[in-house]
Amino acid sequence: MELHKIVSLLEKYLEAETTLKEEKLLQDYFSSGNVDPSLEQYRPLFQFFATEKEIVLAEEEKVITLPRKLNKKKLLLTLSSIAAILVLALSVFQFSDFQKGHTVVEGNHELAMKNTQDLFNMVTGAVANSKENLMYLREIQKTKNKLIITK
Protein backbone atom coordinates (compact mmCIF):
# COMPACT_ATOMS: atom_id res chain seq x y z
CA MET A 1 0.00 0.00 0.00
CA GLU A 2 1.24 3.51 -0.67
CA LEU A 3 2.96 5.26 2.20
CA HIS A 4 1.09 8.57 1.89
CA LYS A 5 -2.26 6.73 2.00
CA ILE A 6 -1.21 4.89 5.18
CA VAL A 7 -0.04 8.17 6.74
CA SER A 8 -3.36 9.89 5.92
CA LEU A 9 -5.31 6.91 7.31
CA LEU A 10 -3.15 6.98 10.43
CA GLU A 11 -3.84 10.69 10.93
CA LYS A 12 -7.59 10.06 10.52
CA TYR A 13 -7.29 7.13 12.97
CA LEU A 14 -5.62 9.30 15.60
CA GLU A 15 -8.40 11.87 15.17
CA ALA A 16 -11.01 9.07 15.55
CA GLU A 17 -12.47 9.70 12.09
CA THR A 18 -11.81 6.35 10.40
CA THR A 19 -14.35 3.75 9.43
CA LEU A 20 -14.11 0.12 10.44
CA LYS A 21 -12.90 -0.78 6.97
CA GLU A 22 -10.09 1.80 7.15
CA GLU A 23 -9.10 0.56 10.61
CA LYS A 24 -8.95 -2.97 9.24
CA LEU A 25 -6.60 -1.73 6.47
CA LEU A 26 -4.33 -0.16 9.09
CA GLN A 27 -4.44 -3.33 11.20
CA ASP A 28 -3.49 -5.46 8.21
CA TYR A 29 -0.66 -3.08 7.26
CA PHE A 30 0.90 -3.01 10.73
CA SER A 31 0.46 -6.77 11.14
CA SER A 32 2.43 -7.44 7.98
CA GLY A 33 6.21 -7.54 8.07
CA ASN A 34 6.42 -4.75 5.50
CA VAL A 35 6.11 -1.61 7.71
CA ASP A 36 7.91 1.59 6.80
CA PRO A 37 10.60 2.48 9.40
CA SER A 38 9.09 5.96 9.95
CA LEU A 39 5.80 4.31 11.06
CA GLU A 40 7.41 1.57 13.14
CA GLN A 41 6.48 3.42 16.36
CA TYR A 42 2.76 2.69 15.73
CA ARG A 43 3.26 -1.06 15.29
CA PRO A 44 3.02 -1.95 19.05
CA LEU A 45 -0.28 -0.06 19.25
CA PHE A 46 -1.93 -2.18 16.59
CA GLN A 47 -0.32 -5.37 17.92
CA PHE A 48 -1.77 -4.58 21.33
CA PHE A 49 -5.27 -4.18 19.87
CA ALA A 50 -4.93 -7.47 17.99
CA THR A 51 -3.89 -9.39 21.11
CA GLU A 52 -6.60 -7.74 23.20
CA LYS A 53 -9.20 -8.67 20.62
CA GLU A 54 -8.10 -12.31 20.85
CA ILE A 55 -8.29 -12.21 24.66
CA VAL A 56 -11.77 -10.71 24.57
CA LEU A 57 -12.93 -13.33 22.09
CA ALA A 58 -11.48 -16.08 24.27
CA GLU A 59 -13.26 -14.70 27.34
CA GLU A 60 -16.56 -14.49 25.47
CA GLU A 61 -16.39 -18.21 24.77
CA LYS A 62 -16.42 -19.02 28.48
CA VAL A 63 -19.81 -19.96 29.88
CA ILE A 64 -20.78 -17.81 32.80
CA THR A 65 -23.52 -19.07 35.07
CA LEU A 66 -25.41 -16.25 36.69
CA PRO A 67 -27.10 -16.62 40.04
CA ARG A 68 -30.81 -17.28 39.92
CA LYS A 69 -32.85 -14.14 39.91
CA LEU A 70 -35.29 -13.98 42.80
CA ASN A 71 -38.89 -13.50 41.91
CA LYS A 72 -40.13 -10.57 44.01
CA LYS A 73 -43.68 -11.86 44.29
CA LYS A 74 -42.51 -15.30 45.42
CA LEU A 75 -40.12 -13.76 47.96
CA LEU A 76 -42.87 -11.48 49.31
CA LEU A 77 -45.26 -14.43 49.59
CA THR A 78 -42.68 -16.53 51.41
CA LEU A 79 -41.81 -13.76 53.87
CA SER A 80 -45.46 -12.97 54.58
CA SER A 81 -46.17 -16.67 55.18
CA ILE A 82 -43.31 -16.89 57.68
CA ALA A 83 -44.55 -13.74 59.44
CA ALA A 84 -48.10 -15.12 59.64
CA ILE A 85 -46.86 -18.38 61.14
CA LEU A 86 -44.81 -16.50 63.74
CA VAL A 87 -47.77 -14.28 64.70
CA LEU A 88 -50.05 -17.31 65.01
CA ALA A 89 -47.53 -19.20 67.16
CA LEU A 90 -46.98 -16.21 69.45
CA SER A 91 -50.74 -15.71 69.78
CA VAL A 92 -51.27 -19.33 70.83
CA PHE A 93 -48.53 -19.11 73.46
CA GLN A 94 -49.80 -15.76 74.79
CA PHE A 95 -53.37 -17.07 75.01
CA SER A 96 -52.27 -20.20 76.87
CA ASP A 97 -50.25 -18.07 79.33
CA PHE A 98 -53.25 -15.76 79.78
CA GLN A 99 -55.51 -18.68 80.66
CA LYS A 100 -53.00 -20.04 83.18
CA GLY A 101 -52.79 -16.69 84.97
CA HIS A 102 -56.55 -16.07 85.16
CA THR A 103 -58.43 -18.82 86.88
CA VAL A 104 -62.16 -18.51 87.26
CA VAL A 105 -63.29 -18.65 90.85
CA GLU A 106 -66.71 -20.08 91.36
CA GLY A 107 -68.69 -18.50 94.03
CA ASN A 108 -69.61 -14.97 95.02
CA HIS A 109 -71.55 -13.71 92.00
CA GLU A 110 -73.35 -11.09 94.05
CA LEU A 111 -70.06 -9.49 95.09
CA ALA A 112 -68.89 -9.44 91.47
CA MET A 113 -72.20 -7.84 90.42
CA LYS A 114 -71.89 -5.16 93.10
CA ASN A 115 -68.28 -4.40 92.13
CA THR A 116 -69.31 -4.08 88.48
CA GLN A 117 -72.18 -1.72 89.37
CA ASP A 118 -69.84 0.40 91.48
CA LEU A 119 -67.43 0.60 88.57
CA PHE A 120 -70.20 1.69 86.20
CA ASN A 121 -71.37 4.33 88.71
CA MET A 122 -67.82 5.71 88.93
CA VAL A 123 -67.57 5.90 85.14
CA THR A 124 -70.99 7.57 84.89
CA GLY A 125 -70.00 10.10 87.56
CA ALA A 126 -66.78 10.90 85.70
CA VAL A 127 -68.68 11.44 82.45
CA ALA A 128 -71.24 13.69 84.18
CA ASN A 129 -68.47 15.67 85.86
CA SER A 130 -66.75 16.06 82.49
CA LYS A 131 -69.98 17.37 80.97
CA GLU A 132 -70.29 19.96 83.74
CA ASN A 133 -66.69 21.05 83.22
CA LEU A 134 -67.31 21.30 79.49
CA MET A 135 -70.36 23.51 80.07
CA TYR A 136 -68.26 25.66 82.41
CA LEU A 137 -65.59 26.04 79.68
CA ARG A 138 -68.25 27.04 77.16
CA GLU A 139 -69.53 29.77 79.50
CA ILE A 140 -65.98 31.07 79.96
CA GLN A 141 -65.55 31.14 76.17
CA LYS A 142 -68.79 33.12 75.70
CA THR A 143 -67.77 35.62 78.37
CA LYS A 144 -64.32 36.01 76.89
CA ASN A 145 -65.86 36.66 73.46
CA LYS A 146 -68.05 39.40 74.93
CA LEU A 147 -65.13 41.09 76.69
CA ILE A 148 -62.50 40.74 74.01
CA ILE A 149 -63.53 41.82 70.55
CA THR A 150 -61.42 40.13 67.88
CA LYS A 151 -61.43 41.23 64.28
Select the more confidently predicted residue: 18 or 60.
Answer: 18
Kindly write down the DSSP assignment for every residue of 84-136, as one continuous string.
HHHHHHHHHHHHHHHHHH-PPPPS-HHHHHHHHHHHHHHHHHHHHHHHHHHHH
Q: What is the mean pLDDT of the chain?
A: 78
pLDDT for 26 equals 84
What is the C-alpha to C-alpha distance for residues 12 and 110, in angstroms, rounded to an integer? 108
Answer whether residue 110 shows pLDDT above 70.
Answer: yes
Please state, in angstroms and rounded to a whole number, the distance separating the CA atoms of residues 18 and 96: 82
Burial of 61 (0-12, 13-18, 19+ CB in 10 A): exposed
Confidence class of residue 108 from pLDDT cuts 50, 70 and 90? confident
80 vs 77: CA distance, rounded Å: 5
Say what the pLDDT of residue 45 is.
80
pLDDT, one tens digit per residue, over 28-87 is: 888 887 888 888 888 888 787 777 766 655 555 666 676 777 688 888 888 899 999 999
- Cα 19 from Cα 17, distance rounded (Å): 7
